[in-house]
């Protein structure tokens, strides 16, 4: 099921998450309720309750936008395939073309975009749908999107992967990263992308971002899970002197750790990441 109860604790909305002695090398949790030690700013508490929108650190936002770049590229390639009318027998092109034909059959697509005749317009549509469609997915589909994204960066060339997290990758880079997947996983990524496209075209509601209290609890769980590696990964992602391969490794470490969390923390963070990306577009 993709609907879950709110992560708020109505019985005691001001209570802080349970405190426990952190492992060596992990900063202690702040004592004030509603605060969180975030990656990239070791020891600096962020007051989730005082901020209208939970803030993002640069390191975390690198992961967010790096991962989002992959689905943007998929959507761009998908729409470009419609425009170009590609006839290649390459199985990856064939899979993309198949999804494109499904899009063309949707009256909502024609009603909103009409006939897409330029690659520039196709690129704009791909970006628009990525940012507006993914946040409309249910929890199950959103989790699968992040799992497939994690798989993409896991098999991508480290240099391309690093450029994705630096946000300097070209659409061709991201397309090549996605095509490094096995064909079955590539098709599944296209299917999830298509679900996002359909959700936006239908006007499905955007799923709400998690509460500040739920985020506090989830990020503290991530901090305990990663230990010093959390701050290390965030620092590497923002280090302009780091190699693309090192940036890639840091991004893989962070996203992999998020996906290894238990529930509801995993869903809270993955929903927050995509909600933040959409809000910051």
Q: pLDDT tens-digit profile of 135-151?
A: 999 999 999 989 998 99
Q: What percent of the chain has pLDDT over 70?
A: 66
**Strands 35-37 vs 45-47: parallel, antiparallel or unpaired:** antiparallel
Compute the mean pLDDT over every residue in the chain, rounded to the nearest whole number. 74
pLDDT value at residue 194: 87
DSSP state of 26: S
Q: Residue 44, CB half-sphere, CA atoms under 13 Å: how many?
A: 9
**R_g of the chain, CA atoms, integer Å:** 19
Domain that holds residue 162: 55-281
Domain count, the chain: 1
Q: Does the reported pTM lie above 0.85? A: no
More confident: 54 or 120: 120
Cβ–Cβ under 8 Å, residues 38 and 60: yes
Q: Where are the alpha helices (DSSP H) in 85-182?
A: 91-104, 107-113, 119-133, 139-155, 158-166, 171-179
Q: Is residue 3 part of a domain?
A: no
- Residue 1 within any structural domain of the chain: no
pLDDT given for residue 27 in this prediction: 35
Inform me whether the pLDDT recorded for 259 exceeds 80: yes
- In sequence order, what are the beta bridge partners of 36? 46
Domain membership flag for residue 274:
yes
Domain assignment present for 212: yes
pLDDT at residue 10, as a whole number: 40
> Could you report the per-residue pLDDT of 210-222, keeping only the tens digit for each?
999 999 999 999 9
- Residue 34 in this model has a pLDDT that exceeds 80: no
How far is it, in rounded angstroms, from Cα 246 to Cα 238? 11
Identify the band that residue 113 occupies on the pLDDT scale cut at 50, 70 and 90. confident
Residue 19 placed within a domain: no
Q: Residue 261 gets which letter from DSSP?
A: S
In a domain, 156, yes or no: yes
Amino acid 277: pLDDT:
63
**pLDDT recorded at residue 67:** 64
pLDDT at residue 28 greater than cutoff 50 = no
Residue 65: pLDDT band with limits 50, 70, 90: low
Rounded average pLDDT over 104-129:
77
Mean of the pLDDT values across residues 181-197? Answer: 91
Q: 63 or 218: which carries more pLDDT confidence?
A: 218
Please indicate, yes or no, if residue 39 is contained in any of the structural domains.
Answer: no
In a domain, 172, yes or no: yes
């Amino acid at each position: 099921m993709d609907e879950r109860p709110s992560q708020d604790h109505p019985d005691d909305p001001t209570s802080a998450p349970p405190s426990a002695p952190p492992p060596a090398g992990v900063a202690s949790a702040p004592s004030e309720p509603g605060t969180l030690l975030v990656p990239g700013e070791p020891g600096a508490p962020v007051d989730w309750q005082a901020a209208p929108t939970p803030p993002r650190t640069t390191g975390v936002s690198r992961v967010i936008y790096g991962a989002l770049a992959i689905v943007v590229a998929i959507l761009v390639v998908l729409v470009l395939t419609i425009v170009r009318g590609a006839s290649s027998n390459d199985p990856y092109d064939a899979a993309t073309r198949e999804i494109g034909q499904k899009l063309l059959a949707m009256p909502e697509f024609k009603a909103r975009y009409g006939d897409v005749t330029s690659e520039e317009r196709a690129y704009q549509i791909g970006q628009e749908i990525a940012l507006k469609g993914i946040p409309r997915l249910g929890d199950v589909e959103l989790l699968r999107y992040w799992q497939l994204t994690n798989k993409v960066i896991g098999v991508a060339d480290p240099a391309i992967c690093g450029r994705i997290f630096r946000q300097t990758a070209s659409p061709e880079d991201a397309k090549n990263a996605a095509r490094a997947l096995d064909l079955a996983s590539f098709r599944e990524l296209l299917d999830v992308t298509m679900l996002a496209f359909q959700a936006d075209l239908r006007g499905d509601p955007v799923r709400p971002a998690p509460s500040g209290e739920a985020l506090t609890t989830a990020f503290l769980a991530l901090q305990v899970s990663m230990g010093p590696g959390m701050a290390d990964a965030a620092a590497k992602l923002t280090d302009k002197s780091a190699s693309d391969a090192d940036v890639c490794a840091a991004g893989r470490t962070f996203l992999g750790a998020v996906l290894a969390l238990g529930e509801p923390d995993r869903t809270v963070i993955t929903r927050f990441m995509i909600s933040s990306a959409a809000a910051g577009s």
